[in-house]
Structure 1
Amino acid sequence: MNNIYAKLAGTNIRNNRQLYLPYILSGIMTVAMFYLMLFINNNPGIDKIHGAANLKMIMALGVGVIAIFSYIFIFYTNSFISKRRKKEIGIYNILGMEKRHIAKVLALETVFVAVITILGGLAAGIVFSKLVLMLLYRILGFDETVMFFITGSGIRATLIVFGILYVLTLIYNLMQITFAKPIELLRGGNVGEKEPKTKWLMAIAGATCIATAYYIAITTENPIKVLTLFFVAVLLVIAGTYFLFTAGSIAVLKMLRNNKNFYYNKKHFTAVSGMLYRMKQNAAGLASICVLSTMVLVMVSTTVSMFAGVKDELAARYPQEITLYSTYDNVFEGKDDVTDIVKQTIADQGRTIENECSYRYLLLMLKQNDTSFEAAPQDSWNSDLAMINIITRDDLIAMDDRFTENDISQPQSGTVSVYGSKAYDADTITILGKEFQVGESRVFMADKDMYASLGFNDDYYVVVDSLDTLKDIFALANTDNRITLYRGVSGYDIDGTTAEKAACADAVNEAIQAANEEAGLNKEEDTEIVAGANGLTSRYMESRAGNEKEFYSLYGGLFFLGVFLGIMFLMVTVMIIFYKQISEGYDDKQRYEIMEKVGMSNEEVKTSIQSQIRMVFFLPIVTAAIHVAAAFPMISRLLMLLNLTNTRLFVICLIITILIFTLIYYVVFKLTSRSYYKIVGNQVR
């Protein structure tokens, strides 16, 4: 008896291969991608890469995203297949098969599909694992032999995750059979829908969600706030898209129907009426296509632009090859006592200093109230504060080599010059209660200090007339037991290869650590750090060459993950389009046959079909493009946190991504439309 059930299950899968084949192939690809992510994350060779921790974190994120979307995707396609097969199952029930017998057949079908999908996906993942790892090494510039490796823990995790997934799909299918009446099964997917009511409340809610998300994306300027509000905007866009496609599309279609010139046209009549009565079930599919298309465009364009601009990002984060940072608890004149040690160490390593700079400034984080910048409680410091850098003219010129002595005038006594990320238009500025006349003001962002200022709303460089004025402000800042530090920066560009520069930086770092030990910076007495010479409280260095491989590991990993997940989301989009075309084909077949019987010509039917397909084609992709355009300001600011300040590069990558995706989307739509035409049959002869 069990053999009969097995044969029947196998026959059902073969007879419904048009539905099951894409389902199984996409499932195999999903399982393979999940295993590959686990393979990369568990591969022992990854530990040899600089920045392995960042890379593993990225791959772990990829594992989670693929698992979540696998459940959503498999459930979506399974529910579609279950709906299309209700009539077939209803016939089994009418012919005498009890529901428990049908349940056995469905269980065996699920087992067959699960075994083929999971084992096929694992086999594909194992076969292509070495190739994928070689590709990742190539992206990261990591020269290492790739050994063939099978991760047992990855196989176990894959079996568990997808085993549970297919058990859940079986439970869902059995529930559909258990609670359905035979007559409902026989009617299957042909159950008609009443004309949907216009849900104005939902449409307004959708428009509000989209408008709020767009407002957040366009008006939020501070990168730290962008980071926290980005996911809020994403959730609002997703919710708004589903609401608008569900309710707004019905309202639009009714408006088109009320337009007599448009509606009573052979090209539009059947398309509009058919879409209107099916929009409740079609809206979710269209919204899913739109959301997934937006995700593909954003993910691929951002990760590609970050990887393409990695050298710019490295230079923005590390403006010079070797940078020494020091902080002091007082304002003093003269040079840092360690600069000679740094220069001597560089010379001992056989390197030549090609460019150097040295400057100091007082760093304050203050709350702005019109023209007054006031102290804020230390526990309230956040991104709403403005960064105020009190600096002398000579130090500002030394900070930025774009300036010469002729570019910046010396402020008169009692006046200051204000250079900032925004224009400062007021005639006066008050800092910690001390008022100054503003002699000169201009927009300016320091290249060498860009990274430090990214987390603040505004960034101002206030050029004072003398070091004495700077000392006065320093004294004001240190009242009420507040700790304010005077910051010194020394930067050096050196010659040599990346490896030579990194070795030199390591030697400099060792020399600095030794100097710190001698100055007592690493010792503690009574829980307070002992200050060194000139009130030195801390000192450390950063190296561009020393961090280059970690940068490539981070951005290369993000690029790999972006393309990897982009492929997955594209695959999900393709499957949704395919099953949507099949669903509409079955729904439209009988309707178009009736239209031909009442006098509609074959050419008119074909024109109506093309009109409907164009509507369905353009709506999700155009909406996705609008979403991306609205999100552009927020994404640009978010990329600044990742050191990508080259907006032009991001624009180019985004345009290219949109063009390529639109081309792929068009090709997929044309190919899946053939399935629609085959189902509709004579109407497209």
Structure 2
Amino acid sequence: MFFKLIRKNSKRNRKENGLFFSSLVISIVAFYIILSLSSQDVMVFLKKMESDAVDRLFQIIPAFFVMTLVILFFLIYYASKFQLERRKHEFGVYLMMGMRRSKLFGMLLAEDIGSSLAALVTGLPIAILLSELISLITAKCVGLGIVGHQVTFSIQAIIITAVGFLVIKLVAFLILSGKIAGQEIGALLVDTPEGTKKQFPAGVYAVSFVLGIICLAVAYSMAIGGTSWATLRKMSETVLIGFVGMLLLFYGMRFFIDRLARHSHGGTALRVFNFRQVQENVIRKSSTLSISSILILAAICCFGAGIVIAFSYGNEKGNIHIMDYTFENYEEDQKQGVANVKKLLTDNGLDQDFSDLFEVRVGHLIPGVNDDYDVFDLSSVMSRVEQLPDSEDKDILLNNLEYESYPYLISLSGYNHVLELAGKEPLTLADDEATVFKGSEFTSDGINGILNDILADRPEVAYLDHKMYLTGKIQNTPLITDRAITLSFALIVPDEVFDKYTWDSTIYLNGVLDQSKVKGDNLLQGIMQMNDKLAQIDFTSKNITYESYLKNMGRRMFYIVAASYITIYLAIIFLIIANTVIGVQFLMGQQKSGRRYKTLIRLGATYELLCRSARKQINWYFGMPVVVAGISSIFGVRAVLTLVSGMISNSIGDAMLLAAAMILLLCVVECIYMAFVKRSSNRYLLTLMVPEREE
């Protein structure tokens, strides 16, 4: 009978508290995914490419896990407190019927363990499936769809997730059960009404609301302007001002809700009652609502930034595959250095593994007299830009061109070879012509459009006494495989001009693997096998380094994992906590107002009418923090994108559009949470419809 009662109570609790149970399941899923990164096949590949960076990432993950466990503990404590208080009358009846307090404690402990195991059994399989799906999607985003995927799961992640989750659940239960066990039977059987808070004049709340808006405006202007990111102190000031602003804003909201309640006579049934209920909840819990709104704002900012970074690296224009290897030598005689590379490859029988080995030469212009580096005149181009209508692209371009008085030169023959491998038309230049090269990381479609219009008129530029004309269109095809070596501005010139006007040129030797050596078109395996062969050659003693295409792929994937995984993980945790707190708080307030609902029932209110009333209250109660967070996210996401602008290839405008789509997706999530709360509210109101016996 005792165990049957436990099973019945556990099943009922999960049904009545579906919002809380679902939040626990989602938290378990998030915990496993972040902890199992090291076992994903994508991460195994990444560790070979970027071992140091990945090791640092793995060192950070436990800190994130512990931090979120602490935050989740308070959520579990808060929600469990609501569940136990909701059952106080039930506990009092058990004790009156002769159940010992120790047996009551054992029953509650068994119920808690049962619900925890049910959450783990539900969440872990979902987590394992999602982990595999995320691994595949990540590989696809960076062009690694050729990975031979194997289904894996981390036993260590399962154990740590289960242990961490069970520990915080048990600690929360022990604290709460101790408080319940110490209460007298009479206190358990009688609901204790919540005390009222001191009221201030309406002007105090109005001033608080205005000050809150001012503080938020100051915080967002500091963040968007970049001031906040300058130092840790500035960042702390911004966060503090924003936090105070949010507290003042919600504290002052009761002024407007009071006005709505005062002018809500007539209209729909129970309209005044709805606003008074909302007003009372805001008065009692304005700080909780403001913190929940801050958490939702943090979730939106993290989620928006994480998705933007992931899509930016997944769709980066410079991520095209042309060469498989680039060899660089550090000999003073660059030609001899290249000959040394070729000799090493030949001596080790690796030259036959390459279908193509070709040189790309890059060098600085020769300085002027007395080492004058201000030798290149772009005034004709800049004057054309200055005549254009004002725009952000114009300002960026002018600022960049001011510093291009000592550009790099690129040899035409080497660059044309790159274009041919990329399937593009080679360039044809006369001795007095040059084409502009800009790395894709340092430009945008708008800036390229401006320059292409100007280059169409062949503007005249000058290098000391040598006149030349800029022609063609902006070029941005990668010269080598190493993305760490990029050029913001360079000129592609004929080889004779390059030889005449450069003095410290570097010769890169690019290699393309023979397709006959790449079995089954498996580029990954081909390059990995070549890496193993190259690792056996002592390049260091010859002052030679090399970079592979997969090395760059691993670097891009690391950015996706480090930035996207963690930000999205934090977004999920923040969103779960904020929405669960709001939902549980509303249901607790509704229970405290049970006598009011019973009075309405005696006055003739129907179940449908009460449900409509509760739904409207929920819309207001969720809507206030969500709307404030949504409006704030317009500035918050923009501020975060200002911080990570160097990590994304999209323009800020495009990134904001993508982030806006993610915000709309989170709005759908909010609607789902509200539906859960409304369903729980309807079940509670249904219990009030049962007539009470009057002795």
Check whether TM > 0.5. yes
SS of equivalent residue, structure 1 residue 188:
coil
Shift of 1:302: 2.1
Q: Structure 2 length as normaliser, TM-score?
A: 0.64
**Whole-angstrom distance in 2 between the partners of 1:633 and 1:127:** 33
Verify the 8 A CA contact 2:329 2:337 in the aligned structure 1: no
Matched, 1:251 2:255: yes
Distance 2:183 2:214 in 1: 38
3-state SS of paired residue (1:358) = strand
TM-score, normalising length: structure 1: 0.65
CA deviations on 1:585-635 (whole Å, 9 max, x unpaired) are: 434554245356568899986775554333224322221212211123322
2:308 counterpart residue number: 305
SS of alignment partner, residue 309 of structure 1: helix
- Which segment drifts farther, 14-23 or 341-350? 341-350
Look up the equivalent residue of 2:191 and give its one-letter code.
Answer: G
Q: Which structure 2 residues correspond to residues 290-439 of structure 1 after superposition, within 5 A?
A: 290-310=293-313, 313=316, 315=318, 337-338=333-334, 341-342=337-338, 349-351=354-356, 357-359=362-364, 391-392=405-406, 400-401=437-438, 407=459, 409-410=461-462
Show the counterpart of 2:85.
83
Q: Answer yes or no: is the 8 Å Cα contact 2:29–2:126 preserved in 1.
A: no
1:191 aligns with 2:187: no
Displacement, 1:217?
1.4
Code of the residue aligned with 1:275 in structure 2: it is: V
Q: Deviations over 1:400-422 (max 9, x none)?
A: 45776954744889xxxxxxxxx
What is the one-letter code of the residue matched to 2:112? V
Shift of 1:121: 0.9
Q: How does 1:579-598 map to 2 (within 5 A)?
A: 579-595=584-600
Choose which of 28, 33, 39 in structure 2 pairs with 1:31.
28
What is the alpha-carbon distance in structure 2 between the residues aligned to residue 351 and residue 391 of structure 1?
A: 35
Q: CA RMSD in A?
A: 5.5
CA distance in 2, matches of 1:27, 1:71: 11
Offset at residue 113 of structure 1 (A):
1.8
Structure 2, unaligned runs of 5 or more: 346-350, 373-399, 411-433, 439-447, 466-475, 492-502, 516-522, 691-695
Q: Please report how far the alpha carbon of residue 321 of structure 1 lies from its aligned counterpart in structure 2 after TM superposition.
A: 8.6
Of 555, 565, 571, the residue aligned with 2:560 is 555
Unaligned runs of 5+ in 1: 328-334, 365-385, 414-444, 464-485, 518-539
The equivalent position to 2:665 in structure 1, one of 626, 648, 660, is 660
Please tell me whether residue 214 in structure 1 is matched to residue 216 in structure 2: no
- CA deviation after TM superposition for structure 1 residue 555, in Å: 0.8
Q: How big is the shift at 1:395?
A: 5.3
Which residue identity is paired with 2:281? R
Aligned residue for 1:477? none
Distance (whole Å) between structure 2 residues aligned to residue 340 and residue 509 of structure 1: 22
Code of the aligned partner of 1:338: Q
Q: Secondary structure at the match of 1:351?
A: strand
**Secondary structure, counterpart of 2:364 in structure 1:** strand
Aligned to 1:47: 44
Distance in 1 (CA, whole Å) between partners of 2:300 and 2:175 is 33
1:516 to 543, 549, 565: 543
Alpha-carbon contact 2:610-2:685 (below 8 Å) kept: no
Equivalent of 1:161 in 153, 161, 164: 164
Give the percent of matched residue pairs that are identical in Structure 1 and Structure 2: 14
The equivalent residue for 1:675 is: 680
Shift of 1:285: 5.2
The 8 Å contact of residues 28 and 117 in structure 1, kept in 2 or not, is answered as no
Amino acid in the other structure paired with 1:546 = K
Q: Work out the CA distance in 2 between the residues paired with 1:252 and 1:244.
A: 11
| Larger strand proportion of the pair | 1
Tell me what 1:420 maps to. none
Do the aligned residues in 2 keep the contact of 1:636 with 1:647 (CA within 8 Å)? yes
Cα deviation for residue 313 of structure 1 reads 5.0
Paired position in structure 1 for 2:279: 276
Q: Give the conservation status (yes or no) of the 8 Å contact 1:320–1:493.
A: yes
Distance 1:263 1:360 in 2: 81
SS in structure 2 opposite 1:654? Answer: helix
The 1-side partners of 2:401 and 2:567 are apart by: 34
Give yes or no for contact 2:89–2:189 (8 Å, CA) kept in 1: yes
* Aligned counterparts of 1:107 and 1:203: Cα–Cα separation in 2: 49
- Aligned residue number for residue 396 of structure 2: none
Change (3 A) 1:460 1:263: farther
Matches within 5 A, 1:128-139: 129=128, 132-133=131-132, 135-139=134-138
Question: Does the 8 A contact of 1:341 with 1:511 survive in 2?
Answer: no
Q: Does the CA-based 8 Å contact 1:639-1:645 persist in structure 2?
A: no
Q: Distance in 2 between matches of 1:24 and 1:507?
A: 54
